[in-house]
Structure 1
């Protein structure tokens, strides 16, 4: 389901970052959301992009997002940066694949625009009476969104500006880790990969903006059984389940088609999945109960899906 919203505000949050406030034209309430949620912006024909909600879930009549203009944009960030107050935009209802779990202490790690999904988590941690600390890295101070607002948190905020002191030192960030604390991180892939390497066995929660790099050279053909219709389709190397199912006339939803947004999540009834998304947790992958059909494939010769 999508909602037609109007841009109330389009403000500069940092160099190349625009913060938008979106609401219904009549000011009516919007679907509720929780920290870690994102919305899809429908910015044109076949141009749908996902952006984390960075406002306050208690504000029920507006959504807030912040978007970085990227030089290698495929059109999404450019379209967002062209929006002005009064413009209309269609958005999805919020979805959350980066849920905020209870803990007594949190370690937040943000790289650049990765600060956005962490902002409502910090508010939630404050409201719950939990302790927390935030390590926020960026190339330049002027490029770090919401830095001025975050300064009010005092010593809990650790700002690392790369052009001044170099990149985030993750060993230092994790040195004071307390048993039972949860680690939430969002940012560029090298930062997240380095965290994964250092946090084996720890409760690490990641939000990725980019698709995982996957070696497809050994991909083989497999069959997909569509349980609702009883049809069996063949998925060859070089084509995704999503593409094959769509070509067969089956209506399936998709957005990023890179395994990062969760729109195409599909229930798996039988078979073993080769998970290639960046949405599901390790535990969720282990169950093989669902998959992202835009990128993931089969480890077995056949998959049965709830389609």
Structure 2
């Protein structure tokens, strides 16, 4: 199904490209938040099991994808700005749920701490409560390559670290995407990494304390950069949180192999729609079809 596309203006400052996949049988809407510098295309596999059950909204940050032609890029965008954009899109599309991936979780937690009235549940995937040493090493190496505009090594770094468990096809798409970013996207990525390294991650823990809806943290068993153990540090702070570890999977979860796609699907849908329905509507049956590769790029930092 083709999405409805639109450019949504945020506070007369940003213009955000959006895609909305409508489902006539669904009574809930979920909005998906990308990792750093990813695009709407990054959720191709996730969309396959969400769209049969929900209305699904995807969007590109102002500096990325199909949003970037509609915005000025005279200064970097902060996580607080991304949180404001998310809050406005939640209201605009009347979203009930949020799902974030990787560093999209930072803006998502900041937004949820403001207790948007519509949101009922949220899933935070591949995100942790602290910057561990592998993640710090990865980010610091990235800073140097970005500063030098070393496109070859930026692309290789992503695939050799957080993307190490991706199939070779997705590694090729990852490399092509990362190495072909515009100058302002490299500057944005450099700003973002510097912001992450300089900022006390306790701000995310503090945000979790203010969130009063159920949260599900999903991490890959093999992900050494945002580990399941580090994600569980949120347990003592978020009033209502659950945790799922996807076995034999790294940072990119449902992109890595068929079993990971199935297990991630079960974790998300079991949390968002916990009551099973024996008579499954035809519109929901396609989500049980086997995982298949798609020509999509996905990156995160």
TM-score normalised by L of structure 1: 0.30
- After TM superposition, the score normalised by the length of structure 2 is 0.30
Task: Decide which structure has greater helix share.
Answer: 2
Structure with greater strand share of residues: 1
Indicate the structure whose relative CO is greater, using CA pairs within 8 Å and at least 6 residues apart.
2
